[in-house]
Structure 1
């Protein structure tokens, strides 16, 4: 996939869906008191949970859009930080986003976001880690796809070996 924006957007969507599904599962098991969709709902809807089914769907879609934006930002940062150790850098970036969002909501005392119990903090780190690693995997797969695309033209013949000495050079 040649378009950097599209790679980041799709990687953010895919990894965001995966991370949010895991986060919702952990929420249903009682492992967290504040799911990612709840954070988004507090910001987008300006009120604390519980949410109606329609509000939950809307905030889920909003959350996925947010993760798509994160994917785009990350893919545009890659030329500056290089893509070597992509998984480590993507994981670090995802934790930086989580810490920043958590810090801002704590700093501004956003109702419904603090205080949070330890189990919620741990599940947020786990979900953010899943997001970062999945985003790196998606970007890696998109790069592999770009490199081996059957649409890309391939040379018709093997390149000629370079001349060994002056006599072998063509005029």
Structure 2
């Protein structure tokens, strides 16, 4: 492992092995922001009627989470999925010196959300194949913000990796 693949974060050394790890970190960071906004949309503003972690729960259990353990496990699954999508973004979109990276992140988030919401219709998953307009709007907005956070985090991590190489 080379020195340039290490980063000091909060006083601790974090290993940035490769693009996969950076994509995973960026996807999870975006997933955390996305879930905070989704919780606000659901609990504070009462705008949407289905949480993103409900999706993970329905795919995992066949129903919305019934207890704290299912909520936590569903949230972990949802963040894992967000991390996986971040890995795909890291490999598909070149972010070194890339122009309009935040716009590309927003478009990627929108497209990912479009295909993710189309899958339940195709596979006829209960609870997910029919969304309210407010929920669809909320999920699109949070997905676009997720994409922007992923793009910015990857850009930041790449810059930190280059600084560590100096």
2:68 matched to 1:36? no
The Cα shift of 1:43 comes to 0.4
Q: Which residue of 2 aligns with 1:45?
A: 61
Q: Which residue of 2 aligns with 1:157?
A: none
CA spacing shift, 1:148–1:118, aligned 2, 3 Å: same
Q: Which residue of 1 aligns with 2:113?
A: 98
The Cα shift of 1:73 comes to 0.9
2:129 matched to 1:114? yes
Structural mapping, 1:1-171, within 5 Å: 1=16, 3-29=18-44, 30-47=46-63, 49-79=64-94, 83-149=98-164, 152-153=165-166
Q: Secondary structure at the match of 2:121?
A: helix
Task: Tell me the number of residue pairs that the alignment of Structure 1 and Structure 2 aligns.
Answer: 149
The structure where strand makes up a greater share of residues is 2
Q: Is the 8 A contact 2:107 2:147 kept in 1?
A: yes
Give the Cα–Cα distance (whole angstroms) in 1 for the partners of residues 102 and 32 of structure 2: 18
Q: What is the Cα-based RMSD across aligned positions, in Å?
A: 1.8
Q: TM-score, normalised by structure 2?
A: 0.83
List gaps (5 residues or longer) in structure 1.
154-171
Give the Cα–Cα distance (whole angstroms) in 1 for the partners of residues 107 and 66 of structure 2: 31
Give the Cα–Cα distance (whole angstroms) in 2 for the partners of residues 79 and 118 of structure 1: 34
List gaps (5 residues or longer) in structure 2.
1-15
Runs of 4+ deviating beyond 4 Å: none
Q: Is the 8 A contact 2:105 2:151 kept in 1?
A: yes
Give the Cα–Cα distance (whole angstroms) in 2 for the partners of residues 86 and 2 of structure 1: 22
Q: Is the 8 A contact 1:2 1:146 kept in 2?
A: no
Q: Secondary structure at the match of 2:93?
A: helix
Higher-Rg structure is 1
